[in-house]
Amino acid sequence: MDTRYYLAVDIGASSGRHMLSHMENGKMVLEEIYRFPNGMTEKAGHKVWDVDRLFEEILTGMKKCLEMGKIPYSMGIDTWAVDFVLLDENDKMLGDAVAYRDDRTKDIDKAVYQFVSETELYTRTGIQKQSFNTIYQLMAVKKQNWKLFTNAKTMLMIPDYFHFLLTGRKAQEYTNATTTQLIKAKTKDWDYQLIEKLGYPQDLFLEIKSPGYELGDLSNVIQEKVGFNCKVILPPTHDTASAVMAIPTQADDALYISSGTWSLMGTELKEADCSAGSRKCNLTNEGGYDYRFRYLKNIMGLWMIQSVKKEIAQDTSFAQICEMAAKENIKSVVDANADRFLAPDNMTEEVKKACSESGQQIPQSVAEVAAVIYNSLAKCYAGTAQEIEELTGKKYSHIHVVGGGANAAYLNELTAKETGMTVYAGPGEATAIGNIASQMIAAEELYDLKAARQCIFDSFEIKEYCPD
């Protein structure tokens, strides 16, 4: 029997990768075949994504499959959340794909709250207040670029747009759609009453499709470009939803941290918690695979370390930075969730400034700055774990750390110490693995989510960090 390959294209804020996988002796085998850089660029005074270049990178990676003689049976793309493109009546992109870190949404929440209160918004959607959520970005377009807004006929989240370019078919996938803050938690569908209140055209919002939905084959044009055809399956297109799918546990109420540019810490719920207490703690109820809710908090995450590396340690690896930080004794901490760390001109100086303002030791070296960030993240994780325990009424004994941060040994040690919980770290490529697992379930190579998670546990290394 020929080997059946599955391709995950996983695009994060700083890089993208093509990961090819197949089953071998009951285990998932994962192979990176192509990697490319990503990042925001400045254009017309805004931070934007170069989606045209990203799509060319997607095609380049697909051509690698042909060169290797490993043509995928299916493929799917996941990316970050909240960002989108607007298409005109001819399905051409209007304007640029503005990035969530752009300042166009500054103070725009006030315009949204003229139509719906912050309290009612959370009660309806269960989504955490973040100034860059799609609901606010759309209001910014409506207020600042009315002509573009009125000419728009379709809104597609970034991965939905790439899937459209591959197949010629438009669909909006559930997990990423929930991050718009326009999905009703109870119905798991667009909140059309809310959309009407805000004055957004209802036609922008297409029918919601669940992860595992078969969108179709590659278009003839794309087949000619890459040299083959395959199925396009919608994975959980929000990268965190794919990562959470790859948590190697059989427990229904595991605590997890999807650790990458952002740290997403939470648990899974069968029903959304849209209570006042949950809103006060700023937890979110994002959509997950099989309509599970990812009940979590967005924490600034390794974005801070990535920024410091870029500023003052370009020739030093993340592993080396982590090892250097572990040797420092500085105890200073900052509020890792403060808006000041979202997109500062200089992250290193912002961390130093925050320490100075709070009367703490000011870090000087790369190692000390990194140590402060790791200290701060671990403290934030501990506080979030306590909030989740109080809100769910459950006591957790361990945390699963998946994603790139699973490789940050010192941060995992600090997390175990601060939370008093055992940390299980791995797999590191959780997002791609979850993406692939959804494709394997769609192809009936894996039975369901439970079977997928057991297979992931059996297939990849998991490291343990104890709190004592």
Cα–Cα distance, 74 to 230 (Å, whole number): 5
Cα–Cα distance, 208 to 192 (Å, whole number): 13
Cα–Cα distance, 117 to 355 (Å, whole number): 35
Sole residue written with tokens 């572990």: 326
- Tokens for 30, please give them: 């994962």
Sole residue written with tokens 């990042």: 39
269 touches 295 (CB < 8 A): yes
Phi, psi of 244 (to 5 degrees): -65, -35
Catalytic residue among 10, 83, 96, 239: 239
The distance of Cα 301 from the centroid of its chain, to the nearest Å, equals: 11
The tally of CA atoms less than 13 A away on the side-chain side of residue 438 is: 33
Cα–Cα distance, 283 to 72 (Å, whole number): 38
Which amino acid type is present at position 459? S
Sole residue written with tokens 């320490």: 355
Specify whether 239 is catalytic: yes
348 touches 311 (CB < 8 A): yes
In whole angstroms, how far apart are CA 352 and each of 101, 247, 369? Answer: 22, 35, 8
Which amino acid type is present at position 40? M
The bridge status of strand 398-402 relative to strand 422-425 is parallel
Q: Pseudo-torsion of CA 247, 253, 254, 258, nearest 10°?
A: 60
Strand ranges for 115-239 from DSSP E? 154-157, 172-173, 183-184, 189-190, 208-209, 214-217, 231-233
Which uninterrupted H or E stretch holds 236? none
Describe the strand order of the beta sheet including 46-49 as a list of residue ranges: 41-43, 46-49, 97-98
Strand ranges for 12-111 from DSSP E? 15-24, 27-37, 41-43, 46-49, 72-78, 84-87, 93-94, 97-98
77 touches 237 (CB < 8 A): yes
Catalytic residues: 239
